[in-house]
Structure 1
């Protein structure tokens, strides 16, 4: 399903997005009309719209667009909110933007089993923005899967770990402290919620040596929550670590924020 500015979307409406592919997005899991970290998702969209288009985005209008798309869904679904401007194209990207809100939905999946990932060198363009230019990321995810891994973990030219293809990565050291990579990464909503929900967290440069000293690793994003990482290249981690289990439970306990009042649903 898909709606543009709250109304059914047609093929012609998506031409600019398909051919120019300039915009930004966020993805959220909707559970019976509520979202974990909704305020952070809306803040991301508003901030990225200023960065990408130099325009203001009304967060209440975004909420309304999501409500119109997910109304009638029972249980859980995944909603992606993509912001793009149909008037911008390859020939005139400097035109004044008129951002539109595209909301698409799909069934929500589970977290899945532990990941086996391969480190490959890559640095996302404008890493602080959750933008729609995914070619580089998906090219390396494809390469990792063709090599027999489940996904890819990015490192910079300096060898420091940064983030996964579409997820943040965290580690647990020997003392049980959660270590997040110090790098230019997208500040994921799930990661931000976890930092305030459970335990002791530090941010540090993750070298190969530090990575090999860790007892556990995990991936986080809205779709998977907290997912164990079984291995990075030849480095094997325990997948039943109590800290990762506690993080998963803490995330599940984060209060849901309603898209609308119960009386309005």
Structure 2
């Protein structure tokens, strides 16, 4: 199901998004009518709209549109995409009237099995923006999967670990959670965990991973997911810190829609 500004979306309206791939989005999980970090999701949409379109987004309207499709019971994953259906490839400067597309899919059962990831040198365009431009990350995810992994783990030009394809990455050094210091999209789940658990932010090179006691991926759809392998390095997929972080995240009070 897809709605544009609360109404069924037409093929013509989808065309600009498909052909120009210019816009931004956030994905959130609704459990029993509540969303963990809802204010952070709405803040992200407002910030990215100003960056990409130079206008303010009516975030309360976004909230209303999410509420329209969110069930009062059960779980669902909702994606809010902001784009201008009148976008002209030759004149992107005229894209100043962004609209709100709301789509949804069933929410997966949690927790998910551990990930196996392959490192890759890659930095997204404007990594601080949750852009609809997914070509690069999907290309690297495809390569990783063809090589027998589940996903890609990105490193920047200095070969410092930054983020995963559609998730943040964290490590546990035996005493603290370590979030890599690098240009990346700071996710809502990551921010909620930073509020809940002692941590530090520091550069993490691939060579720093071997002494780590555990590694994990986070986003709104998967919560906290263990990483069991990075390239040829095996990591414990059942370290106690994973369950601790999962509980802290699940215990976060969701905001009512």
TM-score (norm 2): 0.97
User: What do residues 154-208 of structure 1 show as CA deviations (whole Å, max 9, x unaligned)?
Assistant: 011221111000000000003x21000000000000000000012x200111012
User: 2:232 matched to which residue of 1?
Assistant: 234
Q: CA deviation at 1:96?
A: 4.5
User: Residue 173 of structure 1 contacts residue 214 of structure 1 at CA under 8 Å; is this kept in 2?
Assistant: yes
**After superposition, where does 1:1-265 map in structure 2 within 5 Å?**
1-70=1-70, 72=71, 74-110=73-109, 111-174=111-174, 176-198=175-197, 200-259=198-257
User: What do residues 33-52 of structure 1 show as CA deviations (whole Å, max 9, x unaligned)?
Assistant: 21111000000000000001
SS at match of 2:179: strand
1: CA distance, partners of 2:221 / 2:252: 15
2: CA distance, partners of 1:177 / 1:31: 29
1: CA distance, partners of 2:171 / 2:95: 43
2: CA distance, partners of 1:160 / 1:76: 36
2: CA distance, partners of 1:249 / 1:219: 15
Could you list the runs of 5+ residues in structure 2 that have no partner in the other structure?
A: none
Q: CA deviation at 1:238?
A: 1.2
Q: Which portions of structure 1, spanning 4 or more consecutive aligned residues, are displaced by more than 2 angstroms?
A: none
1: CA distance, partners of 2:7 / 2:105: 17
Q: CA deviation at 1:69?
A: 2.4
Q: CA deviation at 1:245?
A: 1.2
SS at match of 1:94: helix
Distance change (3 Å), C-alpha of 1:96 and 1:20? closer
* Number of equivalenced pairs: 256
Q: CA deviation at 1:209?
A: 2.5
User: Residue 3 of structure 1 contacts residue 69 of structure 1 at CA under 8 Å; is this kept in 2?
Assistant: no
2: CA distance, partners of 1:170 / 1:32: 28
User: Residue 88 of structure 2 contacts residue 95 of structure 2 at CA under 8 Å; is this kept in 1?
Assistant: no
1: CA distance, partners of 2:94 / 2:205: 43
